[in-house]
Chains A and B, each alone.
Chain A
């Protein structure tokens, strides 16, 4: 490891705020890139499932057991 203390890691000889903010922003954007399609996929399937059940007219309570 290059740094010898946690303080040195955070400070990075005065460049810490630049480096850490750049990494933080990047990680937030990348996390969004991964989470948005996953959530969209789940939402589509759930909506479709609800639609199909309503069309079939099966009561929710009965459906839960199957």
Chain B
């Protein structure tokens, strides 16, 4: 167990193991994503109340779910880098921010497009949507804060603090549809009790959620690898790698 943690702190080991993982995970992810999209778009019946517009659910919900999960990853990585000064945690935290921002952006944009035929409006200042917008700003804030500092160690600390403070937003997002009566519908999938969604719609949705989780993992690893190369550019293993692969 301890040797595992020791290895986790070693950049060349992390770089090579993540390369192996990506070689498998990336093709699987893309196939699952394609299958889920085709399934959701073409092979499910339309919703009896919303018609075909509901098909946006297959990208809207996965993007939102993983955007939230990604925030946990970012905040936990931030906490680890603050407490134990683990460099890899700092790399992971920085790698999370742009992915989370992109997923939150997708959730907001698809939600807005979905809202037009369903609610009759592109945008309302409802609690769920507003708290998601705050999530987007938190992610973008971490990205911007990182770039604002010349000293990368200070930048990492500031970003970790920001992401931890931003954690208060997460339960608000979860609970917003229950606390405030609004246009946004409550969650259809529940771990406890009956889900209020038909199995024929649930399975493609679960596939898409899994695919988005896998996609997040792929992007996280890819961002971390690029970041590792940049930070370790003066070390032997990166220079050897550059000689091998830099020419292609």
> Closest residue of chain A to B30, judged by CB?
A34
State whether A25 touches B110 (Cβ < 8 A): yes
**Contacting residue for A34 out of B46, B59, B109, B218, CB 8 A:** B218
On whether A48 and B246 interact (CB within 8 A), knowing A12-B55, A15-B51, A18-B116, the answer reads yes
State whether B225 touches A37 (Cβ < 8 A): yes
State whether B239 touches A52 (Cβ < 8 A): yes
Complex Cα distance, B225 from A16, in Å, reads: 39
Interface range, A side: 20 to 34
Contacts of B6 in A (CB 8 A): none
State whether A15 touches B117 (Cβ < 8 A): yes
Contact string against A for B residues 220-248, beta-carbon threshold 8 Å, 1 for contact and 0 otherwise: 00110110011001000011011101110
State whether A33 touches B102 (Cβ < 8 A): yes
Q: List 23 A-B contacts (CB under 8 A).
A: A2-B45, A9-B42, A12-B53, A12-B55, A14-B51, A14-B52, A19-B41, A19-B56, A22-B59, A22-B60, A22-B114, A23-B59, A26-B59, A30-B106, A37-B222, A37-B223, A38-B222, A44-B230, A45-B229, A45-B245, A46-B247, A48-B229, A49-B247
Q: Which label, helix, strand, loop or mixed, suits the secondary structure of the B interface?
A: helix
Asked if A65 is an interface residue, CB under 8 A from chain B, the answer is no
Asked if B13 is an interface residue, CB under 8 A from chain A, the answer is no
Q: Which label, helix, strand, loop or mixed, suits the secondary structure of the A interface?
A: helix
Number of A-B residue pairs with CB-CB distance less than 8 Å in the complex they form: 116
Asked if B43 is an interface residue, CB under 8 A from chain A, the answer is yes
Interface range, B side: 35 or more
**Contacting residue for B117 out of A18, A30, A45, A50, CB 8 A:** A18
Contacts of A47 in B (CB 8 A): 246
Contacts of A12 in B (CB 8 A): 51-53, 55
Complex Cα distance, B219 from A23, in Å, reads: 19
Contact string against A for B residues 24-60, beta-carbon threshold 8 Å, 1 for contact and 0 otherwise: 0000000001000100011111100001110110011
Contacts of A21 in B (CB 8 A): 113
On whether A52 and B242 interact (CB within 8 A), knowing A23-B41, A30-B215, the answer reads yes
Contacts of A49 in B (CB 8 A): 242-243, 245-247
For the A-B complex with A2-B42, A22-B110 known, give 16 more contacts whose Cβ atoms are closer than 8 Å.
A1-B43, A13-B46, A18-B53, A19-B55, A22-B114, A30-B33, A30-B106, A32-B102, A37-B219, A37-B223, A40-B226, A45-B241, A45-B245, A46-B247, A48-B246, A52-B239
Complex Cα distance, B59 from A52, in Å, reads: 45
> Closest residue of chain A to B37, judged by CB?
A23
